[in-house]
């Protein structure tokens, strides 16, 4: 995560594989909670790459608020609030 924040990434970099894998891990019920929390961070950071990312992240967070653990629900609420504020 810090790599995305602290390094200059070329504007023509293709994030598709990262975005797809991260959404996959976020949706997978067998993914550990800590990994899901990092997936939220990554996707939130990449939301400017494509318009659909923020909308899909909102949808995934809505699902996790209904079916996730207490920790995931807490983290999901924070990110959902950030997404809805913008």
pLDDT tens digits for 54-77?
A: 999 999 999 999 988 899 999 999
What's the CA gap between 52 and 8, in Å, rounded?
Answer: 23
What's the CA gap between 56 and 39, in Å, rounded?
Answer: 13
Calculate the alpha carbon distances from 8 to 5, 28, 57, 59, 83 in Å. 8, 30, 24, 29, 24
| Alpha carbon 81 to its chain's center | 13
pLDDT tens digits for 7-57?
A: 666 777 888 999 999 999 999 999 999 999 999 999 998 998 888 999 999
Sign for the CA dihedral angle at 45, 46, 50, 51 comes to negative
């Amino acid at each position: 995560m810090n790599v995305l924040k602290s390094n200059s990434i070329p504007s023509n970099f293709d994030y598709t594989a990262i975005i797809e894998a991260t959404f996959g891990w976020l949706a997978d019920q067998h993914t550990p909670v800590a990994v899901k929390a990092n997936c939220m961070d990554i996707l939130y950071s990449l939301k400017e790459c494509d318009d659909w990312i923020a909308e899909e992240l909102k949808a995934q967070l809505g699902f996790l608020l209904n079916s996730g653990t207490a920790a995931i629900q807490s983290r999901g609420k924070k990110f959902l609030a950030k997404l809805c504020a913008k």
